[in-house]
Amino acid sequence: MKTNLSITGLIWLITFSMSACQSSTPTHLAITQTPTTLPTPTAAPVNNEKEAIIQQINKLVENYNTVIEAEKKTGNYEVITLTDGTEGFLFTGESLGKVYMEEERVQKEMAALNEEYYALVMKKSPATPTPNPLAQSGNPDKFLEEYLAWSEQESKQGSVVWVYATGDGSYYNILIGESYVALTQWEQELAIARAKLNNLPDKVIEADILEIQRVENSGGQVKFLDIGNFPFYSSDKKLSTYETQSSTYILYSQAHQIIEIEPKQLPPASEGLAKELEQKAREMIALISPEVNLGTLTPAHGAKIGTYFFHWDDSKGQLDNGGYPSIQVGLNGKGELLNYYNTLPLAR
């Protein structure tokens, strides 16, 4: 099978649901034709923890699909023609807002249950799978063919559930259970291929991971996801993306410096004392980016309702995107992290 998809395009495909649903937790989708009749999950005796998680997911989806059908009877929607020529439907008005909120909740809960399932599998079988030689060699083309063939087969015969997507007006199948575990392993191999393509040695990734674990003060699992020019700050400095259980990190691997931290689950806004929060922001900077001297930068702090942004610019520097190099800590009133940005290492 020949394909024109790039390895970057594939990584976008398998993380599509995160951007489509505006969720901080990725949910893995495989696009297939919309079914005319959705399968009804059948309850079975629970023999172990993994089966219990699968039943929770099935029940979650069953309840969600019940909401969809009820809203079609009482709410507002319009019939559309999908790209494959089949019929779909898009909710409108208040119905769209109601269904979207429910979809977002279901996506997050399902992602958490899938991760719980994966953790159980890793706990009982911690051995790392044999690396795919195509990924190790940094040759993405044949590896991409293998992934697409596997994905197509898994969407038909694997462990999947059907979930309606408000943005597309159709149903998608989402891999769960053992199929989700297999997909996660494919993603790890994809990350390896990306690293090899960009000449990012294992020892550099290991050093990045140690830096993240130092900041989180834990020995928890850190996954390497990708490397490239996104987010774009510099045309000649590629950035590496990692994730932990709680956050996504972007690092400038050449110096093992943290450029961004984004919590997967944003804490709610709350009121606090700006002076105390600024002190906490300064302490965070001292921990995460100890090389930064705030005394040489220009403060440009800001605040919205229940959120506080402590920002310092280097007005003498320049980024390739046209902005000033800067450092920022976003906190809510309780001092919980909203975001962390440090583009100072990327200055011209």
Q: In what helix (H) or strand (E) does residue 22 lie, and over which residues does it extend?
A: none
Task: Give every CB contact of residue 76 below 8 A, 6+ residues apart in sequence.
Answer: 91, 92, 93, 94, 95, 96
pLDDT of residue 234 exceeding 60, the answer is yes
Between these two residues, 327 and 16, which has the higher pLDDT value?
Answer: 327
Mean pLDDT of all residues in 318-347: 96
Place of tokens 């800590």: 329
pTM for this model (two decimals): 0.66
pLDDT of residue 47 exceeding 80, the answer is no
Q: Tell me if 147 sits within 8 A of 183, measured CB to CB.
A: no
Angle between helices 177-197 and 140-157 (to 10 degrees): 170
- State phi, psi for 325 to the nearest 5 degrees: -60, 140
Mean pLDDT of all residues in 217-238: 89
Q: In what helix (H) or strand (E) does residue 188 lie, and over which residues does it extend?
A: helix 177-197
In 3D space, the residue among 51, 269, 11 whose CA is nearest the CA of residue 151 turns out to be 11
Task: Provide the pLDDT for residue 341.
Answer: 98
Q: Tell me if 92 sits within 8 A of 100, measured CB to CB.
A: no
pLDDT of residue 25 exceeding 60, the answer is no
16-30, 221-235, 243-257, 332-346: least confident range:
16-30
CA 68, chain centre distance (Å): 26
Q: What is the pLDDT of residues 60-89, one digit of tens each?
A: 999 999 999 999 999 999 999 999 999 999
Mean pLDDT of all residues in 215-231: 88
Task: Provide the pLDDT for residue 130.
Answer: 60
CA 223, chain centre distance (Å): 11
Residues β-bridged to residue 173: 30, 162
pLDDT of residue 42 exceeding 60, the answer is no
Amino acid code (one letter) for 299: P
